[in-house]
Amino acid sequence: MEEKKLDINSIIGFVLIFGILAYMLWQNAPTPEELAEQEKAKQEQVEAEKKAKEDRQTIVTTAEDYTVGNVSDPLQLKNKLGALAYSESLATGENETLVETDLFELKFNGRGGYLSELKLKKFVDFNDAPIYIIKDNNAAFNINLGTTDGRTVNTRDRYFQPNVFKNGENTIVSMKLKVSESKFLEYRYELKPNDYMIDFSIHSQGLSGFINSSQAINLDWKLKTYRHAKSISYENRYTEVVYEHEDGKDDYLGQQEKTDDAAEDLTYVAFKQHFFTSILLADSPFKTAELESENLVQDEEVDTVYTKTFTAKLPLQLYGGELNKSMDWYYGPSDYKTLDAYGRNLDEIVPLGWGIFGWINRYLFIPLFAFLAGFLPYGFAIIVMTILIKLIMSFVQYKQFLSQAKMKILKPELDVIREKHKDNKMKAQQETMALQTKAGASPMAGCLPALIQLPVFYALFQFFPSAFDLRQKSFLWVKDLSSYDVIAELPFPIPFYGDHVSLFPILASIAIFFYMRLTTGQNMQSQPQQEGMPDMAKMMKYMMYFSPLMMLVFFNNYASGLSLYYFISNLISIGIILVIKNFILDEDKIHAQMQENKKKPKKESKFQSKMKQMMEQAEQQKQAQQKRKK
């Protein structure tokens, strides 16, 4: 360091300062007692500064005094791979670095060099409080390194020197664990405007002589996820670890109380919450990964802050004795459109359903809802989308109701057949199939339309809880379509139901009851009398009451947008059935057409022919067995 010399200006300055102080002392004219107290205080301050300086010298070994492989100091373990030029951090504490972008407010802790706080600026939780993904030590990040002398160093215990600078519009945050100016371990974060993806790399320089290449090096990442939604149990249902491995396969740990798994060639791991997610992505896959998830919500009344704890253990490889790993962090909404825009298969994090269910959501419901929400309030967008879907599927309901009407008309004839051959069920079945084939009626014709509706039903069941756009959007008395609505608070919680009353599940339950009453009544009238039929009738009657009750209880804590859909959907279904029954289908015409069909020669299909042949063979075997018994 250059030695500063005393010049004439400094001398004049000191003389002036001395003169001013002397004048002030003369003016104040302190008593001897006051003067003694001042002298004592001054002496104590000098002693404290001297002691602090000695403490720092015992803790910190400077980079200039550090020699690799030749350290006899008792603090060798403390300073190995950590002879810090940034010694001020050790003396002054955690030393946080604050950075702000359009989307984030971030804090980088000098100890460990990792994010100690991350706030999403554009979002608030159900209490209008800021959304923090990381805060108050709920996250941990560490790399454990073996040294050439058999020691282990954890970066979470070391102090990093920060450096923040601009690279065009991007902000670079460099956190360096220094041995010297040319030897260091660096965490480098690059933040871009209006981008939830943060470029992240781990890079070492000049440490090949320190790091033991024969010892495993692991990156450990841990996150205890904060609650952000009104219903912690509902939010927790959609909080889980999702990961991609083995060249594009995606998987998840599930919702057990505590679960773990191992994966190979892992390209990303997401600690997904319901509507927000934290993702670590690797430019080149991690060879292996150990993942864990633990549920923290045992009692919804007590466990109100955190939902789950997630842990990932990922191995790092050395290249030429140095660490060099390029990755990315994503901290942001679990929004399909936002994640899909990155083109890295991140849309799989959003639970839209597997196979055909996911395709229906991706290529039909998501674009349709986005189009409608572009010019309609979100509640009305749900209603209009429901109407469009039900109108498109109305032909399915028509086919189903037509099949039931045909079976209802044939019921008297089918009852005669069953009574005639009540001692020979095989013969009764053969004649039943023959009559249904001639008349052009089949029970399967009513089942197939119902099966066609199942993919649509399940896809929508997945769509509404995953629709980020519904979050904190109001409609009528509903404040948030992604959460339950409340019309009354209960004085105590009811098991499975909750501590509140939601109106949309009640309306949906009423609509389901009347819909099932219409369809169950029609279906019962179309069923022929047979043994066991009274029990079947009772079961169908119980279902007519049980299904609405299930809707009322379990959907009380579900997203009100989903309950709104079921309410509107069942109302429309009731309307379609009434129109079909009263204005479209004419049972007299259907009966006349069925009689005409009986007169026409009916060519059996291969399936019908095969079934007939199998039934005849079974009948022959039965008769042969009866003869042998005689």
pLDDT digits (tens, 9 = 90+) for 384-423: 999 999 888 877 777 777 766 766 666 676 666 676 666 6
In the chain, the number of structural domains is 2
**Residue type (1 letter), 378:** Y
**With pLDDT > 70 as the criterion, what percentage of the chain qualifies?**
67
User: Distance between CA 269 and CA 282 in Å, rounded?
Assistant: 9
Q: Do 200 and 162 have their domain in common?
A: yes
- Residue 334 maps to a domain: yes
Residue 1's pLDDT band, with cuts at 50, 70 and 90, is very low
Does residue 293 share a domain with residue 230?
A: yes
Last residue of a domain, one of 328, 351, 374: 351
Over 90: is that where the pLDDT of 493 sits? no
Q: Are 228 and 363 found together in one domain?
A: no
Confirm whether 10 is domain-assigned.
no
Is the separation of the CB atoms in 513 and 520 below 8 Å? no
Residue 111: closest CA among 92, 132, 138 = 92
Residue 258 sits in the same domain as residue 213: yes
Q: Is the pLDDT of residue 540 over 60?
A: yes
Consecutive H or E run containing 122:
strand 115-124
Query: Do 111 and 162 fall into the same domain?
Result: yes
Q: Is 474 helix (H, G, I), strand (E, B) or coil?
A: coil
Q: Which of 309, 326, 351 represents a domain boundary (last residue)?
A: 351
Q: Is residue 565 one of the residues assigned to a domain?
A: yes
- Regarding whether 250 and 147 lie in a shared domain, the answer is yes
Predicted local confidence at residue 398, as pLDDT? 74
Is residue 323 in a domain? Answer: yes
Mean pLDDT of 601-608: 58
Domain boundary among 306, 336, 351: 351
Specify whether 237 is located in the same domain as 378: no
- In three-state secondary structure terms, 263 is strand
In a domain, 29, yes or no: no
Q: Please indicate, yes or no, whether residues 572 and 536 belong to a single structural domain of this protein.
A: yes
Same domain, 472 and 575: yes
Return the CATH number at 310.
Answer: 2.70.98.90
Structure tokens at 507: 């309306």
In terms of domains, do 97 and 236 share one? yes
Q: Mean pLDDT, to the nearest integer, of 72-89?
A: 37
Residue type, 485: D
Which residue type is seen at 480?
A: D
pLDDT at residue number 396: 74
Q: Output the pTM of the full model.
A: 0.76
pLDDT at 80 over 90: no
CA atoms in the 13 A half-sphere facing the CB of 570? 24
Q: What is the mean pLDDT of residues 19-38?
A: 48
pLDDT at 76 (0 to 100): 40
In a domain, 71, yes or no: no
pLDDT at 600: 61
The answer on pLDDT for 538 being more than 80 is no
295 and 366 in one domain? no
Residue 258 lies in domain: 76-351
16, part of any domain: no
In a domain, 241, yes or no: yes
Q: Could you tell me whether strands 276-295 and 306-316 are parallel, antiparallel, or unpaired per DSSP bridges?
A: antiparallel
Q: Based on the domain organization, do 464 and 554 belong to the same domain?
A: yes
Cα–Cα dist 419/616, whole Å: 20
Taking residues 260-264, what's their average pLDDT?
93
